[in-house]
Amino acid sequence: MNKPMIQVHCSQCQHQQSEPEGLISTNCRACGSYIRASESILKPAVRSPKATKTITCPQCQYSLRVVESAMSSTCLQCSSHLNLQSYELSAGDDTQINTLGTVTLRGRKRYEGIEIAASKIEICCKVRARLIAREEAVLSGNGSLDGKLEAPKITIAHKSSAKARFLITPLLEVNGEVNCIQVRAKKIIIHEKGNLSSKRICCEEISVDQGGILRGRLTTFNMESQNPPTP
C-alpha cells in the first residue's frame, strides 16, 4: 500500500519535492541541501469564499445565487442565459441591452437607443429611449428623459436638475429638482431639498418634508384600479 505523500521545499534553492508522510529530514534533490521536514512542509493555501449575490431570472422569476464578479449565468429552472454585466453608455452606443447589471447613461450629447433593460439604470445625460429598470432608476445631474421609464422605484438624486416627460412608478423619491409633464406613482416622498414640478401629479400617498417643494395639480387615486397614462 502506497504511503501518503507530502510536499516539502528547499529553503536554499526553493525546489519542491514529494516525500513520504512522517518524514523527519531529507536532502534536496536539486542542490543537496539538508531539509528538516517539520520546517519545510508546504501547507495548502486557504482560499476565502467568494462573495455572492442573489439574482432573479426575468423570464421565470426563479431566484439563484451567483458569484458577485460573474459576467453571466444560466437560470437553473428555465435555462435562460442571464447577462450580469454592467455598462456605461454614451451617444452612439445604440445597442439594445438586457442585463441584470447596472447601466449608466452619461455624456454631453443625447443618447438615443431602442430599449434598455437592467436591474438599475442611472441617467446622467439627455436620453431618448425606452428604459426598464427592474429594481431602481436614478436621475442625477442634468439627466433628461424623453421616453418611457418603467421602474419599481425612481430616485431623483441630490443636487440634480432633471427633466422627464412621464414618470410612472410605485415609488418616487425626490432628493433634488425634477420637472416633468406627468407623474403617476403609488407613493411620492419629497425630502428636505427635493423639488417636484409637474403639470399633473397622480398618487395614492404623498409626503413632503420641511423644506421640500411640490408644484402642480395633485390628484389622488388608486393606482391598481386605473390604467396608467400613455406617454
Residue 21 CB neighbours (<10 A):
10
Q: What share of the chain is helix, strand, coil (3-state, %, to 5)?
A: 5, 55, 40
Say if residue 33 is in the same domain as residue 145. Answer: no
**Can you give the pTM of this predicted structure?**
0.72
Say if residue 152 is in the same domain as residue 212. Answer: yes
Residue 34 lies in a domain: yes
Say if residue 22 is in the same domain as residue 33. Answer: yes
Q: In which residue are the cell numbers 523527519 written?
A: 24
Determine the structural domain holding residue 69 and report its residue range: 48-84
Q: How many CA atoms lie within 13 A of 19 on its CB side?
A: 22
pLDDT along the chain (231 residues), means of 10: 74 80 81 76 61 91 89 90 91 84 90 90 92 94 88 95 91 96 94 94 94 92 57 44
Residues 6+ apart with CB under 8 A from 39: 11
